[in-house]
Amino acid sequence: MSVTTLVERVARVPGVRAVTLGGSRARGMARPDSDWDFGLYYRGRIDTDAIRALGYPGQVVEPGAWGRIVNGGAWLEVEGERVDLLYRDLDVVEHWVAESNAGRFEIDHVGGHVAGLPTYTLAGELALGTVLRGNVPRPAFTAELRRSAPPRWEGEAAFSLLVAEQHARRGDATGVAGLLARAVLASAHARLASRGAWALNEKGIIARAGLEEAGEILTAVGWTPRRLEDAIAHMRDALRLRKPEGLAFDAVVRDSPLPPVDLPPPPGRFAI
C-alpha cells in the first residue's frame, strides 16, 4: 500500500487539520499482518462523505458512533491491507489533554476494553503517534497525572475484588473470572501510570506492568466457592492490594503505596 498516497488523500478531506500514524506501526512494534492506524484530527466537522468517496471497500461511520473517546472512523481495505481511520475532534482532544495535564480524567466503558478506557488516552495518542500532516501537540505524562491515576485505578481493582467475593460465595465462576480480569488490568494501568508510561489500550499491559503472576491466576480460577475464594485471595496478594473494611474504598492502598494526594472532584461529563 502506498501510505503516502493514502495520507495525501485523507489529509484533503474537508475538516481534517492533521493526520497521524498510531498503533504498533508508530511504535516500531508492528507485525507483518498489523493494521495501519491513522488519526484524523478535525476541527468542527469532518466530511464523512468525502471519506466514502475515496472508493476503498469497508465501513465508514459517523462521528460519535463509537463513543466520546474513540469517536468514530472507518475500517477500510487498501490494496489488501487493513486500514483504520480514527476521527479525533480537536475540541474534545484539547479539553481532555488539558484535564490530564492537571491530573483529572474519567474512565469510560468502551467495547473491547475490560477495565475501561481513560480519557487521558487522547493525550497518550498524541504523545506516542507520528505526525504525518499538520501540527498537533505532543503532551507529556505530567506529575499531576502520575499522582492521581494510580490510586484511582487501584481503587477500581480493589472494588472489583470485593465484588468478586460476593460472586464466589454463590459459585458464580463467570462473574469471578470477569472481575479478576478487571482487577489485574486496572492494576496494570496503575503501575504504568506510576511510571509515567502511556497505555493506549489493554493489549500487553499485564506483561508491561510486570503482573504476569497475576495473569496466571486467571488461567485456573476454578468453579467451587472455595476455589473461587482462593483465587481472589491469591490475586489480592499478587496485586499487593489490601482488603478494604466496610465501604472504605478510598482507603485502599498498595502494600508499598505511592505518596498520598488530594484528588480534585471529578469533572463533569463533556458533551461532544
pLDDT at residue 106 is higher than 80: yes
pLDDT at residue 271 is higher than 70: no
pLDDT at residue 251 is higher than 80: no
> What does the pLDDT look like over 173-188, one tens digit per residue?
999 999 999 999 999 9
Pairing of strands 58-60, 73-78: antiparallel
Determine the straight-line distance between the first and last CA of the chain, rounded to whole angstroms. Answer: 33
* Closest residue by Cα to residue 244 from 154, 162, 145: 162
Average of pLDDT values for 200-209? 96
> What is the share, in percent, of the chain residues with pLDDT greater than 70?
89
> What does the pLDDT look like over 27-70, one tens digit per residue?
877 788 789 999 999 999 999 999 999 999 999 999 999 999 99
What integer pLDDT is reported at residue 4 of this predicted model?
Answer: 82
Confidence of residue 244 (pLDDT cuts 50, 70, 90): confident
**Diameter of the chain by CA atoms?**
61
Give the start-to-end residue ranges of the domains of the chain.
Answer: 3-133, 143-251
Alpha helices in 200-262 (DSSP H): 205-208, 212-217, 225-239
pLDDT at residue 72 is higher than 70: yes
At residue 140's C-alpha, the angle toward residues 138 and 145, to 5°, is: 140
What integer pLDDT is reported at residue 1 of this predicted model?
Answer: 58
| Torsion angle of C-alpha atoms 76, 80, 82, 83, degrees rounded to 10 | -60
What integer pLDDT is reported at residue 268 of this predicted model?
Answer: 35
Residue that has been written with the C-alpha cell 461529563 in this structure:
269
What mean pLDDT value characterizes the chain?
90
Amino acid identity, position 96: W
Name beta bridge partners: 86: 39, 73
Phi–psi pair at 23, nearest 5 degrees? 70, -160
Taking the C-alpha atoms of residue 5 and residue 209, their distance in angstroms, rounded to an integer, is 38
Which residues make Cβ contacts (< 8 Å) with residue 148, sequence separation at least 6? 103, 104, 105, 261, 263
What integer pLDDT is reported at residue 66 of this predicted model?
Answer: 97
pLDDT at residue 232 is higher than 90: yes
Which residues make Cβ contacts (< 8 Å) with residue 145, sequence separation at least 6? 100, 101, 103, 105, 120, 193, 196
Amino acid identity, position 163: V
pLDDT at residue 259 is higher than 50: no
Confidence of residue 132 (pLDDT cuts 50, 70, 90): very high
CATH code for the part of the protein at 3-133: 3.30.460
Average of pLDDT values for 108-128? 97
* Closest residue by Cα to residue 253 from 133, 211, 204, 245: 245
